[in-house]
Amino acid sequence: MLEHCRVVLVGPMFGGNVGASARAIKNTGLGGMHLVAPIYEDDNEALKFSHGAEEILEQAPRQETLVEAIESCTRVVGFTVRQRHRRSFSALRDFAREWVENALNAGGPPRTALLFGRERDGLSNEELDHCTDLVWIPSSPDHPSYNLAQAVLLAGYELLAARLELDPDTPPLRPRMTKRPSPAPMADAKDMDELLAHLRAAFLAIGYTHPHTVEAMVRSWHEMFARAGLHRREAAMIRGLAQQILWSAQFLPEEVRPRPRPPGD
């Protein structure tokens, strides 16, 4: 459905915005990109920012006039922060829901151009005259204009979200699953004995506990590890920490080294 929405960038000035827009188009399933009189020169920057959507960028037609880019479209949607008198003006989310509902009820989506203007001053009045719809993206009044690529991403996201909500035939989207790690072996009794011996030595080396209290301290740690159920890898990690403590303890200044307690203390 959303492949019937093409993104038209008018006079884009920066290759990074064009590349990032291509990535947003692929992220949200929109139907490609047209470039009208682009003035950016750094194709490498555009390619770098497209990251994974290089084909969207490479296949984007370049046209000299806006009419060429929208000639086959029945809806032309201009994104602007400037409301015009005697023209309907919709918030992006409202437009997205209306577009999807219309596509579902009319028996098919209309061929649509999502029109975005220049980074510096947006779409001109003459360009807005070609639009059947005007859409604005809500923002803080302190800074109402969005970066070009961000605006393309927001438009695609809202259309995608509306389709997921309203179209019962939309395949459900789920987070990408990473490869499930192989089962890790649990630490056995030998692993735990070696771990506790390392901790006992480390505690004494830095004065964390005293010789007459160290066994009670180690027993408490053992109980905690038993509740946690350590894997062998985790036990090795803690032993590595204890080993580093022992190595560092030999460099402690004399005045802070632990001193043996006198008998009877």
Tell me the per-residue pLDDT of 129-140, one tens digit each, with 9 for 90 and over: 999 999 999 999
Q: Name the residue with tokens 């995608």.
A: 160
Q: Mean per-residue pLDDT for 234-248?
A: 92
Residue 261 has pLDDT above 70, yes or no: no
Residue 256 has pLDDT above 80, yes or no: no
Indicate the pLDDT class of residue 107, thresholds 50, 70 and 90. Answer: confident
Res 11: pLDDT = 96
Q: How far apart are CA 25 and CA 43, in angstroms?
A: 18
Segment 144-195, tens digit of pLDDT: 889 999 999 999 999 999 999 998 888 887 777 777 767 789 999 999 999 9
Cα dihedral 12/35/123/46 (nearest 10) = -20
In the chain the beta strands, taken as DSSP E runs, fall at 5-10, 33-36, 62-63, 75-79, 89-91, 112-116, 133-136
Q: How far apart are CA 74 and CA 184, in angstroms?
A: 58
Residue 263 has pLDDT above 60, yes or no: no
Each domain of the chain, given as residue ranges in start order, spans: 2-166, 189-256
pLDDT > 70 fraction of the chain, expressed in percent and rounded = 95
Q: How far apart are CA 154 and CA 147, in angstroms?
A: 11
- Residue 74: helix, strand or coil by DSSP? coil
SS percent in the chain: helix, strand, coil, step 5: 45, 10, 40
Greater model confidence, 263 or 100: 100
Q: How far apart are CA 253 and CA 144, in angstroms?
A: 59
pLDDT > 90 fraction of the chain, expressed in percent and rounded = 73
Greater model confidence, 221 or 256: 221
Q: How far apart are CA 15 and CA 44, in angstroms?
A: 8
Res 262: pLDDT = 55
Of 40, 45, 38, 42, which Cα lies nearest the Cα of 19? 45
Res 148: pLDDT = 96
Q: Which residue type, as a one-letter code, is found at position 184?
A: A
Segment 18-65, tens digit of pLDDT: 999 999 999 999 999 999 999 998 899 999 999 999 999 999 999 999
* CB contact set of 241 (below 8 Å; sequence gap of 6+): none
In the CATH hierarchy, which top-level class contains the domain 2-166? Answer: alpha beta
Res 81: pLDDT = 86
Res 219: pLDDT = 93
- pTM to 2 decimal places: 0.69
